[in-house]
Amino acid sequence: MSRLTNDIDNISNTLNTSTTQVISSIITILGTVIMMLYLNPFLTFVNMLVIPTMMLITSKIAKRTRKYFLNQQESLGKLNGIIEECISGQKLVKVFTREEKQIEEFNNSNDDLKKIGIKALILSGFIPPLINLLNNINFAFIAGIGGWLAVKEIITIGVIASFINYSKQFTRPINELANQFNMLQTAIAGAERVFEIMDEKPEKEDEEDAIKLSKISGKVDFENVDFSYDEKTPVLKNVNLHINPGETIALVGPTGAGKTTIINLLTRFYDIQKGSIKIDGVDIKKINRKSLRSSLGIVLQDAYLFSETVRENIRYGRLDATDEEVERAAKLANAHKFIQRLPQGYDTILSEDASNLSQGQKQLLTIARAILANPSILILDEATSSVDTRTEMHIQEAMLNLMKGRTSFVIAHRLSTIRDASQIVVINDGQIIEKGSHDELLKQKGFYYNLYMTQFRKRTI
């Protein structure tokens, strides 16, 4: 964020103010050099001796200050990060009474920034006075040598007088350029950081012969899929799944087993290392990403809403939906009632992070959004984990209608919600350990049976 705001701001400020000045300085320098050459080439040569010295000194200093300015931008970024975290994690800071610790952290980071800033400024502050000094030396040289030439009657006093004037004209823009140096330094440091982002590899392009899916039936096959996020620790091992169109498949398993990972692969947020994933018999690597994703409707584990009206948040699922369609989706998701109770109903603007809604309400809105998208494959990752059991039942009834004719992936820790799934897949440690319908799995008396019994017993006690 800091790179996209502070650094870009710096670059744009520098470009705005410095560019005109740099251009006018360069033109002035060129003009005076021509005039000086016309007056006396030898004195011009003496005058020019100063330039390489100036350049040597400024580039020596600049090399060092560049590093400091880069550090300065970095620590400014870090400081912004700390502030951002403190503000968004405000409740946590309060509840764990970590105010002092947080303030200390801020102060440390702020001190770092101050120290680096001072160093950078002091070092770069040397440049203008040094240039001034060289100017004065230059001035003395011209006066001295000019005087000697005048005594020899090679030039007149008038030439010396105008030459000295030009010489001043000459160094003033150079001085200005040197003053612009500080700004240029931060801008360059900022530009480097911005370029780092621009150089990041974007998501791989679709292959040229990528297939565009139009209407898919929703057959999904995972064949011997191996996957690891970091190419070292395997997360999924030899996963085989075959889902027929219109089936509801439930993924259950302990935390960290790899359920969300399976969804991440289906949406091609990541590419698999071994095996294949096919939709309607076509390898998803050969499918155009946009058409693949637009045939999926997803309710992610972490509900995310934009600071927009409730209506627009639901409409995000399908931008050309009418208001009636939005409301119908909200009704199906059981969100209509609570939305009506909001101060401005569907036109209530959600605050940042949707903090003016309860967690369950957020989930209902994200479900409505996925319903509106009317996808061929519906994915619900812990979509109802924060709503009460009665609301969950209502949603499920509505979902049953919705899921008809489309393939659905449901991930849920509450097993009561997935009892009716056509296929329940139990994943543990990245491997499928059991597969079958609810009744079949209960009969097996394996992992699922135990899981179900623990939940069931808890509820009856």
- Which part of the chain contacts Mg ion (CB under 5 A), choosing from 129-137, 210-218, 259-267, 340-348? 259-267
Note whether 379 binds ligand ATP by CB under 6 A.
no
Q: 348 contacts which partner out of ligand ATP, Mg ion, none, CB within 5 to 8 A by kind?
A: none
Note whether 269 binds ligand ATP by CB under 6 A.
no
Tokens 């899981």 -> residue:
451
Which residue number, 195 or 229, has a Cβ lying nearer to ligand ATP?
229
Q: 265 contacts which partner out of ligand ATP, Mg ion, none, CB within 5 to 8 A by kind?
A: none
Considering only CA atoms, which of 187, 256, 272 is closest in space to residue 223?
272
Binding mask 274-313 for ligand ATP (x = CB under 6 A): ---------------------------x------------
Distance CA 291, CA 215 (A): 10
Q: 208 contacts which partner out of ligand ATP, Mg ion, none, CB within 5 to 8 A by kind?
A: none
Which residue number, 257 or 298, has a Cβ lying nearer to ligand ATP?
257
Distance CA 78, CA 70 (A): 12
Q: What is the sign, positive or negative, of the torsion defined by CA atoms of 46, 48, 53, 58?
A: positive
Distance CA 243, CA 446 (A): 22
Note whether 235 binds ligand ATP by CB under 6 A.
yes
Note whether 144 binds ligand ATP by CB under 6 A.
no
Note whether 291 binds Mg ion by CB under 5 A.
no
Tokens 């980071």 -> residue:
109
Q: What is the largest CA-CA distance in the chain?
A: 118
**Residue 446, SS3 per DSSP:** coil
Considering only CA atoms, which of 295, 221, 226, 290 is closest in space to residue 261?
226
Note whether 258 binds ligand ATP by CB under 6 A.
yes
- DSSP character at residue 6: I
Note whether 261 binds ligand ATP by CB under 6 A.
yes
**Minimum separation from the CB atom of position 96 to ligand ATP (A):** 23
In DSSP terms, 436 is beta-bridged to 424
CA distances from 56 to 45, 61, 172, 341 (A): 18, 9, 18, 72
Note whether 231 binds ligand ATP by CB under 6 A.
no
Residue with CB nearest Mg ion? 260
Out of 6, 53, 238, 260, the residue judged to bind Mg ion by CB under 5 A: 260
